[in-house]
A and B are shown apart, each in its own frame.
Chain A
Amino acid sequence: MTLAPGDVAFDVEFRGITKRFGPLVAVNRVDLQVNKGEFLSLLGPSGCGKTTSLRMIAGFEQPDEGELLIGGTDAVGVPPYRRNVNTVFQSYALFPHMSVIDNVAYGLKQRGTGKAERIRLSGEALELVQLTGRQDHRPSMLSGGQQQRVALARALVMHPQVLLLDEPLGALDLKLRKEMQVELKRIQEQVGITFIYVTHDQEEALSMSDRVAVMSNGVIEQLDEPRVIYDNPRTSFVAEFIGDMNFLSGVVTEKVGGQFIVDAGGGVVIRGHGAASRGSSVRVGIRPERMTALPGSPEQQANSAKATVLSKMYLGDQIQISVSLANGQRIIVREQRASANPVLDVVYSGDEVLVSWDDKAPLLLEQTVPLQSSAEAEQYTPSEEAAVHASTEES
């Protein structure tokens, strides 16, 4: 309350929040800043602490440690009914004994809004979610998608500072999900309320959100715009969780300017951009669609490797092959079928192919710097050997 208006830059702020359930740490020293009016998704596998985070904002759970600010005000210990935050529950949690309009008007009634006003505002909210003419039905008489709209209207009618949505589309079929995703995004833009959206569906998170927080084991691994999350995953977990990723491990043999060269063994040499120190062990990720496979096996060089095709799959608009590299590692390569003559059409199991990628494709993910490499000049025999090996192959 004593904060200057300028200080209240975030609708929700976590400062080192920890939540435990007995010995289990559900949320582990999380810092999070949610901007005003943004659509932020919490994305992560089951049990990573998404719901727990959301429930702390709603006030159903209290953090064990750390500070939680809503609209710049300390919210720890404030009960749910005194928070200007509303929730759309995964199970919708509609009151089964009340009509649609009574469900939507329930919150306004608690606030003491007059009856006529209540009905008017609730009607408007139902219009916003495009559910009209069903006001007197009981929730059980509505379809899943319609119930979802009622739950949304019931929360929106309160004009909360922040709207919390816990996998709101989880119970809907794929087609309806897609429809509702567009719908939700439209509504969010129309009302301008901050949405915090929990999902374990990466496609959903990436397509709807302004920013995505990827969670794992109670921590936020990366918080970025969807494009950055996909193109520049900062950790192995994010790289693996978002989209498909081929992983190659090796030792950095050379470091020139902003470039590195990694020997992944078996003649597989990766060249990419990033700050890797020589001699360190790294894990590199390359997206399947950034790789190409050509029949035959011409001369090898960096960022291309000989491989044997293990299997081939048609995925609607894409063709995917699984190959085994010379170092024994299996990777997948994907090609859009939109191109006039998909190369992979004429590639079959057992064929020898040359897999290649450009030097922007490899993403440097994990780096373990050996102790002796702190002195840059120090010789590191295996890597020296590998470097020689790599350069001879390149020439």
Chain B
Amino acid sequence: MTLLSEPKQEKAVGVKRRGRSFKPRYPTWLALPALVYEVIFFLGALGILVAFSFATQTGFSQITYGFSLDQYKAVFDPLYLSIFFRTLMMAAIGTILTVMVGYPVAYWMARYLSTYKLLAVLLIMVPFWTSFLIRTYALKIILDSQGFLAKTFGLDIMYTPIAVGIGLVYNYLPLFVLPVFGSLERMDWTLIEAATDLTARPLRAFWDITFRLTLPGIVTGALLVFIPMTGEYVIPAILSGGKYEFVGNLIGDTFNTAQNPPFGSALAIMLMVALSVFVVIYIAVATKEERFGA
């Protein structure tokens, strides 16, 4: 009996040992530093915002915490709604322009460059090596009514929505190009040959195949630029001279100039709610990307 059962036991032990070595472990602690950071600085700040937004302000900076919807009601003032609308519109236009400028260059890099591909990626990222603020001021020098464009071509577009649009596209372009480039890099170009082989004209083949397969990348890139564009503060402040305020400028003014944190918080949270809609779209498309794998 013992003789028979012993090897069996040994085998079982062997299996267990082998099983353990292959079992993926989850060293949760690796996520800990980021978790601590996010809890303190993101959730903490968010908590403060939420608390502020339900508070009321009596007198001058006398905040009474509670559960009041007054701040939210105040957001639905036509004046503020128009700023929300303008922000979303400008961000949407800026995103569309970014797609139109960024997609062709990403396509060119992915399809036609080989030796200089990496160099091109580096060049796309070069603007990131300088501070965002400095770049925007530099742009101001070019767009200024005394600047290069105005003097050479008579294009005085400083302090117009066009200037803001140019600033948005310029500053966010790399953020769009990189994910789309990644998506185009994974493109199997024989699919295009297959499509033209099946008598599709080049533009048709692009639309049916390349565009469809890189759509998830385009959506990722577009959201990656759209979301921070809606929260933009520096570009409208510098390039529109405060004439075309974004919600970000409004929030800044409410906190700093008007000294009204409860209302500023309500504005910030409403902006987040508006953006959540787009994030939901993003997740829907991102899961679709996994299914296609391209």
Contacts and interface: CB of A to CB of B under 8 A. Distances in A.
Contact of A91 (B188, B201, B204, B208): B188
Given A96-B213, A97-B294, A81 B199 contact: yes
B134 to A, nearest CB: 43
A58 B195 CA distance: 12
A158 B209 CA distance: 19
A91 B197 CA distance: 15
A242 B201 CA distance: 41
A147 to B, nearest CB: 13
A97 B212 contact: yes
Given A96-B293, A96-B294, A80 B188 contact: no
Interface of A: 58, 60, 79-82, 85-87, 89, 91, 93-97, 106-107, 110-111, 138, 140, 154-155, 158
Contacts of A140: 293
Interface in B182-225: 188, 190-191, 193-202, 204, 208-209, 212-213
Contacts of B293: 96, 140
B193 A81 contact: no
Nearest to B194: A93
A86 B212 CA distance: 23
A82 B294 CA distance: 28
Given A96-B294, A97-B212, A89 B190 contact: yes
A106 B190 contact: no
Q: Which of A60, A81, A82, A94 neighbours the largest number of chain B CB atoms within 10 Å of its CB? A: A81
Given A81-B200, A111-B199, A91 B190 contact: yes
A38 B188 CA distance: 32
Contacts of A91: 188, 190
Contacts of A94: 194
Given A96-B213, A97-B292, A140-B293, A60 B193 contact: yes
Nearest to B191: A93
B171 to A, nearest CB: 33
Interface of B: 188, 190-191, 193-202, 204, 208-209, 212-213, 291-294
Q: Which of B200, B204, B212 neighbours the largest number of chain A CB atoms within 10 Å of its CB? A: B200
A110 B194 contact: no
A95 B202 CA distance: 16
Q: Which of B194, B212, B213 neighbours the largest number of chain A CB atoms within 10 Å of its CB? A: B194
B209 A86 contact: no
A89 B192 CA distance: 12
Nearest to B198: A107
Contacts of A158: 198-199
A247 to B, nearest CB: 40
A118 B267 CA distance: 55
28 contacts: A79-B196, A80-B197, A81-B197, A81-B199, A85-B197, A87-B194, A87-B197, A89-B190, A91-B188, A93-B188, A93-B190, A93-B193, A94-B194, A95-B208, A96-B292, A96-B293, A97-B212, A97-B213, A97-B292, A97-B294, A106-B195, A106-B198, A107-B200, A110-B198, A110-B199, A110-B200, A140-B293, A155-B198
A309 B204 CA distance: 66
A391 to B, nearest CB: 63
Contacts of A97: 212-213, 292, 294
A58 B292 contact: no
A80 B196 contact: yes
B216 to A, nearest CB: 10
Given A80-B197, A89-B190, 19 more contacts: A79-B196, A81-B201, A87-B194, A89-B194, A93-B193, A93-B194, A95-B195, A95-B209, A96-B293, A96-B294, A97-B213, A106-B195, A106-B200, A106-B208, A107-B198, A110-B201, A110-B204, A111-B199, A154-B198
